[in-house]
């Protein structure tokens, strides 16, 4: 299949381009589009055959449920069976924006979206193109990140094309995304609510609105029931072998001495010989650049990528989570 790539303005998207993309979606096709976090791969969330094409294109395991994206709160009754006060207050504060809420699933949502489970993940994205596209399609959009399953998330149309060109109908190219890491996922179907995936909206920001929440420990042993298979194990990984260290300098020096061609992602790149990337010390700025830098290094034919692990503090939680999973062996 030929993948059509259409440019459009990130702030004032052209109605004709949106109408073309909406027609593809209404016809059961796949359109990659920008959100404020990463690019998503969208399909009509109410159309089982269309959603099946997402799993095919990504090579995604069928047991990993998808996030449903809505354009307005008026769409919610089609997607969720309950809208508790905690959801209302969080949406009021953080929507549109990078917070995904897991709630009891609405009757119209097909099994394939939720992996057969009783809950559905829903969010209202803040990117003007995402909002306008959902409204033009007039259906909620199931959209995982627009990458092959397990690989790095895409923060530009080039990243999407690298993984999915020839496998999807269309890419809407509105330039790089702003936030750069995937949304925070919060499970409101349990009491107390539980943070399933850390993201730009932090635990303390959520707790300021709804009180104490629990946190899924993705490094804990997984012998019990998996609350969300996609949130455990290896993910977000470059194709190049990638390692993460506190004190990565020694490791890079050792590899250089062995004559290895190494990429080094760090705060103070003070060794000669490595392909070094100097990262910002601010976690917001770091997140915005992280996937793009890893994509870039991944295309250089390096033997290895070494990443300096950022500090173990709350503000780095989401970034450390992604880096740990990029370097897990299974």
Q: Which residues bind ligand TXA (CB under 6 A)?
A: 35, 37-38, 40, 64-67, 98, 100, 102, 114, 117, 119-121, 125, 143-145, 182-183, 185, 196, 228, 230-231
CB of 216 to Mg ion, least distance (A): 16
Could you please report the per-residue DSSP string of 138-190?
TS-EE--BSS-TTBPPPSSHHHHHHHHTTTSSEEEE----SS-SPPEEEE-SS
Looking at residues 71 to 130 of the shown chain, list those that interact with Mg ion (rule: CB under 5 A): none
CB-based contact 325:319 (threshold 8 Å):
no
Instruction: Pick the closer one to ligand TXA by CB: 8 or 101.
Output: 101
Instruction: Pick the closer one to ligand TXA by CB: 37 or 178.
Output: 37
CB of 162 to ligand TXA, least distance (A): 16
Query: DSSP state, 125?
Result: -
CB of 64 to Mg ion, least distance (A): 9
List the one residue out of 259, 11, 53 whose CA is nearest residue 143. Answer: 53
Instruction: Pick the closer one to Mg ion by CB: 37 or 145.
Output: 145
CB-based contact 300:258 (threshold 8 Å):
no
Q: Which does 231 bind (CB under 5 to 8 A by kind): Mg ion, ligand TXA, none?
A: ligand TXA
Q: Phi and psi (nearest 5°) for 187?
A: -90, 110
Q: Which does 120 bind (CB under 5 to 8 A by kind): Mg ion, ligand TXA, none?
A: ligand TXA
CB of 98 to ligand TXA, least distance (A): 6
Q: Which two tokens stand for residue 241?
A: 């072998």
Ranked by CB distance to ligand TXA, the top (closest) residue is 230
Residue 145 touches Mg ion, criterion: CB under 5 A:
yes
Instruction: Give strand ranges (E) for the chain.
Output: 4-7, 31-34, 39-44, 67-69, 99-104, 119-123, 141-142, 170-173, 184-187, 194-197, 214-215, 242-245, 262-266, 275-278, 304-308
CB of 39 to ligand TXA, least distance (A): 7
Instruction: Pick the closer one to ligand TXA by CB: 197 or 304.
Output: 197
The three-class DSSP label of residue 200 is: coil
Strands 141-142 and 39-44: antiparallel
Instruction: Pick the closer one to ligand TXA by CB: 185 or 277.
Output: 185
Instruction: Pick the closer one to Mg ion by CB: 231 or 275.
Output: 231
CB of 96 to ligand TXA, least distance (A): 11
Look up tokens 């995604």; give the residue. 60
HSE-CB at 307 with a 13 A cutoff on CA atoms is 26
Judged by CB under 5 A, the stretch of 39-47, 143-151, 256-264, 280-288 that binds Mg ion is 143-151
Footprint on this chain of Mg ion (rule: CB under 5 A): 145
């Amino acid at each position: 299949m030929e993948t059509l790539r259409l440019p459009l303005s990130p702030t004032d998207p052209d109605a004709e381009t949106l109408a073309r993309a909406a027609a593809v979606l209404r016809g059961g096709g796949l359109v990659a589009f920008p959100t404020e976090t990463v690019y998503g791969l969208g399909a009509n969330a109410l159309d089982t055959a269309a959603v099946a094409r997402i799993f095919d294109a990504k090579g995604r395991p069928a047991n990993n449920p998808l996030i449903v994206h809505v354009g307005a709160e008026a769409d919610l009754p089609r997607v969720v069976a309950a809208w508790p006060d905690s959801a209302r207050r969080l949406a009021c504060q953080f929507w549109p924006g990078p917070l995904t809420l897991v709630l009891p699933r609405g009757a119209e949502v097909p099994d394939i979206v939720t992996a057969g489970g009783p809950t559905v993940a829903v969010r209202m994205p803040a990117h003007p193109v995402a909002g306008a596209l959902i409204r033009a399609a007039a259906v909620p959009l199931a959209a995982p990140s627009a990458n092959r399953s397990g690989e790095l998330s895409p923060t530009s149309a080039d990243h999407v094309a690298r993984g999915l060109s020839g496998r999807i109908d269309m890419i809407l190219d509105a330039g790089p995304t702003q936030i750069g890491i995937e949304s925070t996922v919060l499970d409101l179907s349990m009491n107390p609510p539980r943070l399933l995936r850390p993201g730009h909206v932090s635990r303390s920001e959520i707790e300021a609105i709804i009180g104490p929440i629990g946190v899924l420990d993705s490094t804990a042993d997984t012998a019990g029931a998996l609350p969300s298979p996609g949130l455990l194990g290896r993910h977000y990984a470059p194709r190049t072998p990638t390692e993460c260290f506190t004190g990565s300098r020694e490791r890079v020096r050792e590899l250089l001495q062995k004559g290895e061609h190494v990429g080094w992602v760090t705060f103070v790149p003070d060794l000669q010989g490595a392909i070094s990337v100097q990262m910002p010390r601010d976690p917001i700025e770091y997140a915005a650049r992280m996937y793009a830098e890893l994509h870039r290094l991944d295309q250089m034919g390096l033997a290895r990528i070494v990443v300096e692990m950022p500090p173990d503090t709350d503000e780095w939680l989401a970034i450390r989570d992604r880096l740990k999973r990029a370097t897990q062996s299974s």
